[in-house]
Amino acid sequence: MGIGALAAAPGVALAAPARAPASRAGDRANTLWYRHSAARWEEALPLGNGRLGAMVFGRVAQERLQLNEDTLWAGAPYTPDNPAALAALPKVRQLLAQGKYAEATEEVGAAMMGKPIRQMSYGTLGDVLLTMGDAQAPADYERSLDLASAVTTTRYRTPLGQHTRESFVSAPDQVIALRLQAPRGTLGFTLGWRGPRKVKSIASNYPGLATDLANAPPTDWLQVEEAGPLPPDAAIAADGPDAILITGRNEAMHGIPAGLRYALRIQVLGDGKLRYADGQLTLTGASAATVLVAAATSYVNYRDVSGDPVAIVRRQTAAAAGTPYATLKRRHVEEHGRLFGTMSIDLGTSPAAARPTDERIAAAGQQDDPALDALYLQYARYLLLASSRPGTQPANLQGIWNEGTNPPWGGKYTININTQMNYWPADPAGLGACVEPLLRMVEDLAQSGAKTAKTMYGARGWVTHHNTDLWRAAAPIDAARYGMWPCGGAWLCNSLWDHYDYSRDAQVLRRLYPLLRGASEFFLDTLVEDPQGRGLVTSPSMSPENSHPYGSSLAAGPAMDRQIVRDLFGHTLEAGRLLGQDAALLERIAEARGRLAPDRIGQQGQLQEWLEDWDARAPDRQHRHVSHLYALYPSAQINVRDTPDLARAVRQTLVDRGDLATGWGTAWRLCLWARMGDAEHAYSVLKGLTGPRRTYPNMFDAHPPFQIDGNFGGAAGIMEMLLQSWGGEVLLLPALPAAWPTGRVAGIRARGGLTVDMTWERGRLTALRIGGKPGDAVALRYQGKLAQVKLDAGGTFRSTGQALLSLA
């Protein structure tokens, strides 16, 4: 689905897919489930509607809902551009050309970094705590998340009888809903709110991965946390007979004042007695209750914070409270299913599939669990739907789920890999609609980044560096060795071009072209000639976030920059020609593209990360980033078909770097090995990613700590093993491992607006269906053979695997 038609506003209806299968009762193929409650945040289950997020703990004595709203960031509108950068730029370039890397780094740090040198952080709305009356240790406890319905369920028995809770975050109604049921007259709780606070993220040596996690001691069932004092500038008051209203302000940070107001309204509907006292609601004597939570901030856009969050949450809860719970749930499940149901996958099963999810993760590195691999892919699709929908903010470093006011790396948009990786699986997985927030963010950055380009480089067009935030800051930040990288916006443009290439939506192309043109104009103005005559290069720059042997990261013309700019120029040329625009500018872009320094193979047989052959002497030869392998994936400049020598150099680099990196670094390696067609090596990397070192019990990726891009990159890698589309071809089962001998996938996408359904047995394709535009020609490659087929008048091609081979 193209995003152009979805850009109207939050709440836009999403078109129904061709198929939307619901989970069968008792079918756990798309379910995470556990025999114990969540003792830690990394065990809680995530819900989201793109804007609102909730982590559900499922505790017996006290249910905890940890809350997020995607615009609750620190600070206020600001511009960090540094006017001193323009005068320093020639000096820095000269120092780099002379090989004076330490001096260049010192000059960049003194004159070219943003002010402030840190960006704003993403935050939390705190916690809703429901402390239950007369809680008892349970029997037959089970906690689950059904990905197909986006509903969490907690069930258990006590001597009083059966207790059930279910929760979801509704996109149609924009509320969090929690439904509790208990034997007649026995349900009671006190509901309070705990405000935003700093927390400690779990990094290494996570204690919850031991086998005893599945046998939590009885005291865990009755775990209760204190609400604590209200944070500064926050207030709680009764807001009618059955609701409380919480208001507050965000945090000031790095010298930028607090500029956002937030509001949270919590309403309780039940058949018992309800009273308010001291900021809390207490319900007694009920058999059922529904808790509705709405949240909003005063954010309108990155320059405007004049919204009225109190009016928003009152309107949302009033509308939801006037709707029967069954109707709220039905609308939520139907809307979620419209997108989640567009793709299904079955990679086979094993005895491990009958075990709780955390136990399967704990054993994933030691045994094959193909159903867990399929679940990992579907979970990533679920997370993307839950954290990035039309009208919301894009998924950040933690999607939308963050427990504190001090998230890892600020929870920002890190655009030297992580934000781009968040969207790698979107189009292949049938979730192109989820890319719309990224397109809007880049449209914002083209405005803020135009000021940065002019102020700091004296250039046309626009630029942004390795990070941005809610306020669309575009200047380099953090430190010279991390932040002085001008290709973040260019890579975002290439990601959006990939989205267009999958959808071929003309509205997307028309919105995208001005972004491509502006990013290209910046590099036309800032590329310089390499002093040794090797071509045009960026300067100053770096290969994210790696150091070379000369005590710095700063350099001229790292491989990744040349590859990204080559793609950017190529995409701008194609878009401009399709739209019939800017012929003279396109000529300049084509000329500059032809002069970019080419990729180089070093003395060790590796693909060089820098213009110079420094790789063997780099301080960290197993660095988490593999930036210079961008050309293989997500790009296809280097590939096994057209550039075999460079592909062999990529393989050597992958061997040198090793398989285990951070969560997202491991996921990128998975994608690269899959693109190389090495099925067994790719699967070995996947097992490391889905195992306990890189996956928490709730299936969140462990960087560590939690960072969501590993989930998304892992999903992209799984799909890359099953289907690839690059170089004008669609590759069927290009890296199918022995662990998935029999399976099927329906609704996976390929470039050119194609939808592919496949079935295979004993490792061989047995049935194929391709859907697309009637009459389109498609080049299919299977088992090394190429077949040219045409879609019929209904836009369909069908074949068996053997028949397909005979077409070659």
pLDDT in tens, 112-124: 999 999 999 999 9
pLDDT single digits (tens) 439-486: 999 999 999 999 999 999 999 999 999 999 999 999 999 999 889 999
pTM: 0.95
Q: Which residues neighbour 651 within 8 Å (Cβ) at sequence distance 6 or greater?
A: 676
Under DSSP, the state recorded for 105 is H
How far apart (Å, rounded) are the C-alpha atoms in residues 419 and 735? 26
Half-sphere exposure of 230 toward its Cβ, with a 13 Å CA cutoff?
14
Mean pLDDT of 562-570: 98
| Entry field: residues in the chain | 808
How far apart (Å, rounded) are the C-alpha atoms in residues 754 and 340? 18
Position 655 scores a pLDDT of 97
State yes or no: pLDDT of 212 exceeds 60.
no
Q: CB count, 10 Å around CB of 179?
A: 20
Q: Cα separations (Å) of 730 from 570, 665, 734, 736, 738?
A: 21, 26, 10, 15, 21
Taking alpha carbons only, the member of 288, 284, 289 closest to residue 133 is 284
Position 282 scores a pLDDT of 97
Mean pLDDT of 87-94: 98
Is the distance from CB of 126 to CB of 194 less than 8 angstroms? Answer: yes
**What domains lie within the chain, and their CATH numbers?**
20-73+121-341 (2.70.98.50), 85-115+376-727 (1.50.10.10), 743-807 (no CATH)
Q: Cα separations (Å) of 246 from 66, 226, 407?
A: 15, 18, 23
Position 413 scores a pLDDT of 98
Tell me which long-range contacts 197-200 makes (C-beta under 8 A, separation of at least 24).
197/126, 197/228, 197/231, 197/404, 197/405, 198/404, 198/405, 198/406, 199/41, 199/403, 199/404, 199/406
Q: If pLDDT is split at 50, 70 and 90, which confidence band does 222 have?
A: confident
Position 4 scores a pLDDT of 27
Q: If pLDDT is split at 50, 70 and 90, which confidence band does 206 have?
A: low
Position 14 scores a pLDDT of 27
Q: Cα separations (Å) of 112 from 85, 466, 479?
A: 4, 14, 10
pLDDT single digits (tens) 746-759: 999 999 999 999 99
Taking alpha carbons only, the member of 273, 322, 267 closest to residue 290 is 267
- CA-based R_g, the chain, Å: 26
Q: What is the 3-state secondary structure (H, E, C) of 174-189?
A: CCEEEEEECCCCCEEE
**Locate tokens 């989201």: which residue?**
48
Under DSSP, the state recorded for 760 is E
Q: If pLDDT is split at 50, 70 and 90, which confidence band does 201 have?
A: confident
Q: If pLDDT is split at 50, 70 and 90, which confidence band does 669 have?
A: very high
Is the distance from CB of 457 to CB of 85 less than 8 angstroms? Answer: yes
Q: Are strands 62-69 and 52-56 parallel, antiparallel or unpaired?
A: antiparallel
State yes or no: pLDDT of 221 exceeds 80.
no
State yes or no: pLDDT of 667 exceeds 80.
yes
Q: Which residues neighbour 38 within 8 Å (Cβ) at sequence distance 6 or greater?
A: 44, 45, 56, 57, 58, 59, 143, 698
Q: If pLDDT is split at 50, 70 and 90, which confidence band does 227 have?
A: confident
State yes or no: pLDDT of 20 exceeds 70.
no
Both tokens of residue 162? Answer: 């059966």
How far apart (Å, rounded) are the C-alpha atoms in residues 713 and 393? 19
Position 10 scores a pLDDT of 28
Is the distance from CB of 668 to CB of 340 less than 8 angstroms? Answer: no
Q: Mean pLDDT for the chain?
A: 93
Is the distance from CB of 748 to CB of 741 less than 8 angstroms? Answer: no
Mean pLDDT of 720-729: 98
Is the distance from CB of 556 to CB of 541 less than 8 angstroms? Answer: yes
How far apart (Å, rounded) are the C-alpha atoms in residues 340 and 378? 8
Position 27 scores a pLDDT of 65
Written as one letter, the residue type at 690 is T
Give the DSSP per-residue string, 735-754. Answer: T--TT-SSEEEEEEEETTTE
State yes or no: pLDDT of 211 exceeds 50.
no
Under DSSP, the state recorded for 396 is B
Higher pLDDT, 165 or 205: 165
Taking alpha carbons only, the member of 454, 453, 455, 456 closest to residue 490 is 453
State yes or no: pLDDT of 11 exceeds 60.
no
Q: If pLDDT is split at 50, 70 and 90, which confidence band does 219 have?
A: low
Q: If pLDDT is split at 50, 70 and 90, which confidence band does 674 have?
A: very high
Number of H helices, E strands in the chain: 19, 31
How far apart (Å, rounded) are the C-alpha atoms in residues 754 and 772? 5
Q: If pLDDT is split at 50, 70 and 90, which confidence band does 8 have?
A: very low
Tell me phi and psi for residue 284, to 5 degrees: -135, 155
Q: If pLDDT is split at 50, 70 and 90, which confidence band does 223 have?
A: confident
Q: Cα separations (Å) of 520 from 119, 571, 681, 778?
A: 26, 10, 37, 31
How far apart (Å, rounded) are the C-alpha atoms in residues 332 and 168? 8
Give the sheet arrangement for strand 729-732, strand by strand.
Answer: 723-726, 729-732, 777-782, 785-790
Position 481 scores a pLDDT of 87
Give the sheet arrangement for strand 45-48, strand by strand.
Answer: 45-48, 52-56, 62-69, 126-132, 187-194, 280-286, 273-277
Where would I find the beta strands (DSSP E) of 298-454? 344-346, 413-414
State yes or no: pLDDT of 711 exceeds 90.
yes
Position 611 scores a pLDDT of 96
State yes or no: pLDDT of 220 exceeds 80.
no
Is the distance from CB of 231 to CB of 281 less than 8 angstroms? Answer: no
State yes or no: pLDDT of 381 exceeds 50.
yes
The residues that bridge with 264 in the sheet, in sequence order, are 246, 295
Position 26 scores a pLDDT of 39
Share of the chain above pLDDT 90, in %: 89
To the nearest 10°, report the CA torsion of 446, 450, 453, 458: 150
Under DSSP, the state recorded for 209 is G
State yes or no: pLDDT of 16 exceeds 70.
no
Is the distance from CB of 758 to CB of 346 less than 8 angstroms? Answer: no
State yes or no: pLDDT of 2 exceeds 80.
no
Mean pLDDT of 515-522: 98
